Chains A and B, each alone.
Chain A
Amino acid sequence: MCGPLMYAFLKGGVPPPKKPEKQTPQRKNIPWVEKYRPRSVNDIAYQDEVVAVLKSIVKNYDMPNLLFYGPPGTGKTSSILAMARQLYGAHYTSRILELNASDERGINVVREKVKLFARQTASSYLPDGNRCPPFKIVILDEADSMTNAAQAALRRTIESEAKTTRFCLICNYVSRIIEPLASRCAKFRFKSLSNDAMTDRLKSICKDENIKCSDEALETLRKVSEGDMRKSVTFLQSCARVCGEETIEKNTVLEVAGVIPDEVIKNFIDKCSKNSHFSLQTAVEKLEMNGYSASQLIYQLLDVILNNDNIDMKNKAKICEKIAEVDYRLIDGADEYLQLMDLGSVLLENLPNY
């Protein structure tokens, strides 16, 4: 090894440029949703009440059992992980047990795993000598897909392990958690992120990643994500990849998000106004060939129909009823072509002819 001075001395000249630090590939290659997962409870956007409570837990070590609920991508999983990280520092993985819908969660599995985990005593010091709360945390993510029987069994477990263990249940639908279980927890609702909160966060990611995104594109990104922060971050990253060095524009966002262009919707409505079943059939075939999703189509179609003043109320009502029916059938797995034909036949009868 020789320093620059020594090098100059020996070889007489300037030292070769230092090799750039080898980038840690892991860091670079993790997707943004993970990269920008809040690390501390302070980083959690928009969920002020929850954040206040979590902060006080971090300070006073006084934690009730928790139940987090709310729509996808609003920070539920992130919040509890961030709190655990703050409580236990680097040792947080040994102090939490995370069980989710992809793990086997029959009654016995949950009971056994939790028991085993709870049995190990939890001291109020970490191996590094720092103080920490004298309990561990069991996180039951996606608890709404647990069977009622498993939930009932959990009730007992929560009580019997109360000395050493706290529970945090997370779900999208609070109504699917049985009442006796819910009543053992402090409940917190996570709200869909507000426009401002979402825009701020997206902007800050753009800055960190050094990408350009037009205001209009940002606005569109926010709209298509419907308060789901995860969705918006995934979309943003995809757009960034598609655009490379160039500025992200509205159209890319729409394409990446699978939004159907307005002209396509308009064209479909036009074809249905011709009062010809043949023209309806070709229109539906064309949609099918383009691969547009039928559920996305009816979602956007509804908007256009409602805002069209040339259709009278009674006809609108009939169309809307059919849209609702088709939506329901699609969720059941009905064939898209046939459902769009059905919807189209109702449009045919209820749209003013040109």
Chain B
Amino acid sequence: MSLWVDKYRPRSLGKLDYHEEQANMLKKLVQSGDFPHMLVYGPNGAGKRTRIMAVLRELYGHGVEKLRHEHQTFTTPSKKKLEISTIASNYHIEVNPSDAGIYDRVVIQDLIKTVAQTNQLESSSQREFKIVLIMEADRLTKDAQHALRRTMEKYMSTCRIILCANTTSKVIGAIRSRCLAVRVSSPTIEQIMIILTFVCKKEGLSLPNELAKRIAEYSQGNLRKALLACEACRVQQYPFSDDQEIPKADWEVYLKETSSLIVEEQSPNRLLQIRERLYELLVHCIPPEMIMKKLLQELMMNCDGTLKTGVIQAAARFEHRMQKGQKPIYHLEAFVAYFMAMYKKFLEDGMTADW
């Protein structure tokens, strides 16, 4: 049985439940025929992928939903073999080039060229172009982005590119100047509540308004998170109650405890203990920037107002270093150590002042 997030994913532009105006705009775009390259961006779980798939369906009909999972092999200039998995239909191919790490340029170059040059679309589709969907485009190396520039122009007659990203900040200007940028913002609390209620109704459940509201707030605009949480609530207890606990993700609970441990004691020993916990999170593939962000939020709730600016600035500084550096653990740990020192000093100063 599939999860609610998959079961109730709208498939067509007409069925999208929010940002209808944008959906209309996309529809016009498809109808106009001269479909541009697109850069779709927005926060996690805002519905970017759902929207893109709906556009594809509008362009090509049901055929795009017949998906094949494939493994493609690429050869780097140094003759190294890379295997990348792709998802494709007869009309489009989806790839996540960041799977190839620093060799992403090779993947993009080869893939787009092959797609653009082997143009054997069934004549029934009435489109002269195929779509290459590039996920996590904000994680493309600069090298790969530069390579995209002329490629996007050269193969335009047979191939359009849709880039999907969380932010445009990391996409170079030359690429942005070649795309129509489409911003997908998170649904509002009310919109999420409506969707949750709708899904529950389809499942034959009745969701109290108060609980819907609490789940929506907890999700912070991430619709996927909201749907998963709602389904977890259902597993935990039914009939629902207004004040039932929303099961949080394990790692969130774990991080909350971690931050309490930091505030409770500041010592080399405790730092060691925290390091173990950070490792634990990292081996479970929690992205390091997410850890930094959550830690900051938890610590801010637990420290004095005069310390807050310092904590924020430290988190921003260490996270930046983390992006430049090799091993996230160094920088996460440095942040914790920095916080401990600052916090301890604050407590000690407080005590001498009391004397």
Contact = CB atoms under 8 A, between A and B. Distances in A.
A256 interface: yes
B300 A72 contact: no
A121 interface: no
Contacts of A73: 177
A348 B309 contact: yes
Interface residues of A, number: 63
Interface stretch (B150-158, B238-246, B343-351): B150-158
Interface in B93-148: 109, 128, 143, 146-148
B90 interface: no
A258 B149 contact: no
**Residue among A237, A330, A339, A342 with max Cβ neighbours from chain B (10 Å):** A342
Contacts of A141: 150
B339 to A, nearest CB: 14
Interface stretch (B4-12, B35-43, B53-61, B203-211): B35-43
A145 B146 contact: yes
A333 B145 CA distance: 14
Contacts of B156: 30-31, 34
Interface residues of B, number: 62
Contacts of A42: none
Nearest to A100: B150
Given A34-B153, A293-B169, A256 B181 contact: yes
B180 A26 contact: no
B296 interface: yes
B312 A342 contact: yes
A144 B77 CA distance: 19
Q: Which of A26, A72, A77, A244 has the most chain B CB atoms closer than 10 A to its own CB?
A: A72
Contact of B170 (A242, A281, A288, A333): A333
Given A241-B29, A334-B319, A345-B313, A295 B174 contact: no
B178 interface: yes
Contacts of B181: 256-258
A289 B19 CA distance: 14
| Main SS at interface, chain B | helix
B324 interface: yes
B34 A290 contact: no
B248 interface: no
A289 B34 contact: no
A184 B179 CA distance: 36
Nearest to B150: A100
B301 to A, nearest CB: 9
B174 to A, nearest CB: 5
B300 A289 contact: no
Residue with the greatest number of chain A CB neighbours at <10 A, chosen from B41, B77, B157, B320: B320
A228 B178 CA distance: 11
A338 B168 contact: no
Interface stretch (A101-109, A186-194, A311-319): A101-109
A349 B296 CA distance: 19
Contacts of A270: none
Contacts of B309: 277, 345, 348-349
Interface in A164-178: 172
B157 A341 contact: no
A335 B289 contact: yes
A215 to B, nearest CB: 23
Given A281-B297, A335-B323, 15 more contacts: A29-B34, A31-B36, A72-B173, A101-B149, A102-B109, A142-B149, A241-B28, A277-B300, A277-B308, A277-B309, A291-B185, A293-B167, A330-B169, A344-B312, A345-B313
Ordered nearest first, which 10 A-B pairs have the shortest CB separation?
A: A342-B316, A291-B42, A295-B169, A100-B150, A231-B177, A102-B151, A289-B186, A289-B221, A334-B320, A102-B147
11 contacts: A26-B157, A28-B34, A33-B153, A34-B153, A234-B179, A237-B34, A241-B32, A242-B25, A329-B320, A334-B323, A349-B309
